[in-house]
Chain A
Amino acid sequence: MRHLIASAALALTALTGTTTLAEGYPERPVMMMVSYGAGGATDFQARIVTMTAGNEDALGMPVAIINKPGAGGRVGWNWFATQADADGYTLAAYNIPHFIAQSVKGGVEYSAESFEPIANWGADPAVFVVAADSPMNSMNDVVNYAKENPAKLTFSGAGLFVGHHIAALQLEKTAGVKMAYIPTKGGGAAAMKAVIAGDVMGGVNNLSDAFRAQQAGNVKILGVFDLERNAFLPDVPTLKEQGYDIDNASVNFRGIMVPKGTPPEVIDKLAAVVPEMFKNARVASKMKAGGSPMHIMTRDEVKEMWAAREETLKELLAGL
């Protein structure tokens, strides 16, 4: 029996042609976990930004995307914090403010300290949308309606303690109104469907998805939850311009991270190579084609951003 296993193994080695003695990291394909479903915005962008990983000037090895969706990303990140190998062959996509907000709120087994950021590839602000035939035409209309009808303005978002929810909380807090936030199961797509179908009166959604829905003539975009207007929507004013003092705490930053305990050499190599990989021209053109805003940041910049977000979110979520 023993002999048989050995010969089978030998046959396999011959088949794959792999060798355990290859030098330098990475010596085999790298896996990257995305905590949202295949075809979702995060998955789609993760696949684009890693498509050139196999090039010699990048990692030299392909990156395989693995989806572990569920509960607004909690399922995937919990797995990543508790079960992923810290050997440099298991990467994950992060979404800020989602995972930090969830860890501040509690009930999960990760926090910002569980992970080491590598680099950031994109920033997708939240926007406020209403159906194309809605009588509301600005954020003031929305807030006035909410003032006259406390807790009656229904608006959808992708879940609790994700970017959309943070934007919703900021809006309620700054404008001093009470509204009815309806979290949907099935991510931004389901939340958008609720707006278009008229199940709810409005919604917070990703800029990239809202941009598409607006192009198709299904929704109006009333405001951007960011510090500046976005290149994809130069005509849509920010919330700040409309008189609501809201910063970029809800902007969905997407990037790559590894589990705590990954060897420092590996982190250094990744931190040096990955931002360059994001800068590839092919990546940029594909991202633009899909309507996905890019925002490349290095490991140090991301570290700073994480710390700043954690502070803001602790303050914002303190009362909940």
Chain B
Amino acid sequence: MKTFAKLFSSLRLKSQDCGKAGRGEESLEFLYYFADVFTPLSFGLLLLGTIGGLILGATPGLSPTMAVALLIPFTFHLPATQGLILLGAAYTSTVAGGAVSAILLKIPGAPANIATTLDGHPMARQGKGAKALQLSFLASAVGGVFGVLLLIFLTPLLSEWALAFGPSHLFWLAILGVTVIGSLDSASVVKGLLSGCIGLWLATIGFDDIMGAQRFIFHPSLGGGINIIAALIGLFAIPQVITMFAKGRQDNSAEVLVVEKHSIRDAIREMMRRPKALTIGTLTGSIIGLIPGVGGQIAGLVAYDQTKKFSSEPERFGRGHSEGVIAAEAANNAMVGPSLVPLLTLSIPGSPTAAVLLGGLLIHGIFPGSDLFDNHPDVAWTFINSMLIGQVLMCIFGLYVAGLAARVAQVPQSVMAAIVLGLAVFGSYSVQSSMGDVYVMASLGVMMYFLERFGFSAAPLVLGLILGPIAEANFIQGSMIANATNGMAPYFLSGALNISLIVIVIASVAYSAWMELRSRRYTSKEEIIG
């Protein structure tokens, strides 16, 4: 670990010579490479990646993972720096762009945007679609810039942190996620938990990742298990399509979503008035985003849940509260910077996107770690700086997109249903060119439409689907290690990190139960139990 401290000592803020930071002075080295972002090719690619990413992210059915995977061939032909800039920009802005379809259509572009639907879509239904979009892009930019600054200044510390999470900690973290399930977007706690259980079960379908045993494969399409992106598209997009069908052939004008104009200045003011949501969202996102293999997908949901729990008016969440949108979007962009720490310092890709970025470096013979920062600082710092500038560009173009929201909302229902159906089919197919994924997408979607009519909901189900494999794999790995060493109890229950996580889990459950009791006292019993 000492090597990292030495390696990154160059980043430590030394004194007042920040302004004229030069190569020899070793302080604030990244400033030296800012100009490199503005070469015509680099800046052009940054713009292209940002705008393209926003459009792709905003398209229901297309996911960030897919967009980045489809860009791999380009990185093979571009110089290292420019390849990374393109990938980084596309990654950042697809995550932020996913908020558009999450808010306007209740179709999250990626698992990261699920939490955005919870308050964003109710806002859109109340005519506040433009406001929700503006808040989401502003919060994304604040969170995103903070995340990249952490990456710039605290990398050595963060890489130690990222490594600190072993199997037992990841298991407890997944359990923390599970405790969120019951209270998430469901009028009934029991049905929320049941939806979560269905998701946890669906996640076990296919080959078990560690033992390789086949489980619940009752149709050949399930051989590869349930792809999370295909499931996400099916569970959110298809019920929307069927809901539009169910309205029948009627006058469109009555059904078009109204989007009231909202000034950007008001949105900024609104966000300043919600510092708690912004802070909790940004911090939770940065911390959870850091953890390899887990972070990105659940950062938004955990941040949303924490903000709700710390709020003085938790009952407003889920009904179009702007704090919900701010927390979720601040978190899912704050995680982008820290999620690259394990890759850039330890050469360990913590997410599929990071794996693709690794390929973009290796193809040019650059190894992440000391080689990257010592021998190719231009590549490293230009890339990191481009993400900083990319966040700002993303915010500017995002706010412009928010202004166009009214037009998207005016598309007649019949056309919208047909478009979303087509995108769902193409989108789920293109994840891994598999017809099986399309069948799974459609089956889950039709099932979800009917379940929703009876009080079940998609968000806890997807959360179960995401958390299931994390909890299971880490439990099995942890128990294997525990059995070979000191035994289960010491391994899972001792150590500062384990204990802190367990305390947070218990606090989270206790708080939910207390909230439940309190609201029961105020409202009639009937409405809550369901």
Could you list which residues of chain A lie within 8 angstroms of chain B, going by C-beta atoms? Answer: 31, 37-40, 43-44, 47-48, 51, 66-68, 70-72, 74-76, 78-79, 82-83, 102, 105, 107-108, 132-133, 151-154, 159-161, 180, 182-186, 189-190, 192-194, 196-200, 209, 212-213, 215-218, 286, 288-291
Contacts and interface: CB of A to CB of B under 8 A. Distances in A.
A184 B364 contact: no
B190 to A, nearest CB: 31
Given A102-B212, A193-B348, A290-B363, A75 B225 contact: yes
A185 B223 contact: no
A216 B370 contact: yes
A75 B224 contact: yes
B432 A66 contact: yes
A47 B348 contact: no
B212 A212 contact: no
Contacts of A107: 212-214
- The 6 A-B residue pairs with the shortest CB-CB distance, nearest first, are A39-B355, A216-B369, A289-B365, A71-B207, A180-B484, A185-B473
Contact of A70 (B209, B211, B364): B209
User: Which of B69, B224, B354 gathers the greatest number of chain A CB atoms within 10 Å?
Assistant: B224
A216 B371 contact: yes
Given A68-B434, A216-B370, A44 B346 contact: no
Contact of A67 (B225, B292, B432): B432
Contacts of A213: 346-347
A78 B69 CA distance: 23
Contacts, number: 168
A217 B346 CA distance: 9
Contact of A37 (B1, B167, B355): B355
Contacts of B167: 199
A182 B370 CA distance: 29
Interface residues of B, number: 59
Contacts of A102: 212
B173 to A, nearest CB: 15
A200 B359 CA distance: 26
B367 interface: yes
B3 A217 contact: yes
Given A66-B432, A83-B220, A102-B212, A189 B206 contact: no
Given A39-B352, A67-B69, A74-B212, A184 B477 contact: yes
A43 to B, nearest CB: 8
Contact of B359 (A39, A108, A186, A193): A39
Contacts of B213: 107
Nearest to B357: A39
B481 A199 contact: yes
B210 A183 contact: yes
B153 interface: no
Given A67-B432, A200-B481, A159 B212 contact: yes
Contacts of A70: 206-207, 209, 224-225
